């Protein structure tokens, strides 16, 4: 008889996968997301950029715009203190590209570990949820502390994560070619955005202000005036301008 040994790591992955979809459904029921999907079984990059569940919350912004928030989740089924701490580190790392982040750990973890992790999650605005790892059909997810959004994730990381975690696998969460604009620019009008981002009196600003985004042709002319090689720290401004043009173009199509 041949005996096949299954590594602890393999057991952990098999066990964790049973809770991905149930937690995605729980997030939606808690109204933390409009839609959530399991992504943990799609291995990409490192553990610091590969959440087990990704959710999106859709809401209406000023001026009839549609905004989106990204929520990432790390689930651990091991009660090892080391694994719980690793999970906390991963949940923190997800905030680079997520508006909110959750850590989900077994309710039968050591009580001291649970208390310490709860305090750390509260300090870092990470949501903490405990569950019954012995009951995949009824895990009884229980919120221990809420996830909070303090500040904004890096827009370039957000958009990259959308492509890597969601669009490549055909998850139908975002509209085609959608970009997320985060930060202080999300709800500004086009004129406010131009005045806020572009240097007063600069040729680029004067040229852009001279063209009103009232037609597809004008929008394309404006796009060509927006540089594609800005420094990293100003990429969110570039994304904000393009995203606003996307909104205006979509609005024009809706008027037909």
DSSP per residue, 171-236? -TTS-TT-----STTTT--HHHHHHHHSPTT-HHHHHHHTS---SHHHHHHHHHHS-S---GGGHH
Q: What is the CATH number of domain 8-145?
A: 3.40.1350
Q: What is the DSSP secondary-structure string of 54-92?
A: EEEEEEE-GGG-EEEEEEEEEE-----HHHHHHHHHHHH
Q: Are strands 100-106 and 127-131 parallel, antiparallel or unpaired?
A: parallel
What pLDDT is recorded for position 186?
A: 60
CA distances from residue 179 to 29, 163, 191 in whole angstroms, order as listed: 26, 10, 20
Cβ neighbours, 10 Å, residue 102: 28
- For each of the chain's 256 residues, which pLDDT tens digit applies? 334 444 444 444 447 889 999 999 999 999 998 888 888 766 555 666 789 999 888 766 555 556 678 899 999 999 999 999 999 999 999 998 888 999 999 999 999 999 999 999 999 999 999 999 999 899 999 999 999 987 777 766 776 776 666 655 555 555 544 554 445 566 678 888 888 788 888 888 899 999 999 998 998 898 888 865 443 445 567 777 877 887 888 888 766 5
Give pTM, 2 decimals.
0.63
Site of tokens 């959608």: 178
CA distances 253 to 39, 42, 180, 191, 242, Å, are 33, 36, 20, 20, 17
| Rounded Cα distance, 66 and 58, in Å | 7
User: Which DSSP string corresponds to 87-118?
Assistant: HHHHHHHGGGT-SEEEEEEETTS-HHHHHHHH
Q: Give first-to-last CA distance, the chain, whole Å.
A: 72
Domain boundaries, the chain: 8-145, 188-254
d(CA 99, CA 46): 20
The tokens for 2 are 């041949």
């Amino acid at each position: 008889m041949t005996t096949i040994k299954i590594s602890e790591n393999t057991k952990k992955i098999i066990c964790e996968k049973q809770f991905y979809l149930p937690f995605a459904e729980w997030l939606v029921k808690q109204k933390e997301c409009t839609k959530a999907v399991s992504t943990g079984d799609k291995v990409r990059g490192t553990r610091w950029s590969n959440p087990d569940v990704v959710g999106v919350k859709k809401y209406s912004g000023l001026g009839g715009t549609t905004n989106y928030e990204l929520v990432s989740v790390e689930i651990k089924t091991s009660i090892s203190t080391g694994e719980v701490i690793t999970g906390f580190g991963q949940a923190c790392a997800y905030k680079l590209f997520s508006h909110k982040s959750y850590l989900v750990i077994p309710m039968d973890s050591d009580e001291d570990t649970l208390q310490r992790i709860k305090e750390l999650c509260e300090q870092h605005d990470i949501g903490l949820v405990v569950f019954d790892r012995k009951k995949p059909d009824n895990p009884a997810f229980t919120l221990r502390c809420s996830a909070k959004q303090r500040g904004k994730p890096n827009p370039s990381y957000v958009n990259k994560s959308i492509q890597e975690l969601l669009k490549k696998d055909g998850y139908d969460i975002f509209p085609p070619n959608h970009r997320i604009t985060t930060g202080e620019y999300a709800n500004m009008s086009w004129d406010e955005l131009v005045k806020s981002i572009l240097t007063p009196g600069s040729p680029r600003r004067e040229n852009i202000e001279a063209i009103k985004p009232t037609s597809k042709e004008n929008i394309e002319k404006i796009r060509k005036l927006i540089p594609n090689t800005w420094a990293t720290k100003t990429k969110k401004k570039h994304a904000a301008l393009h995203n606003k043009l996307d909104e205006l173009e979509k609005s024009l199509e809706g008027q037909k």
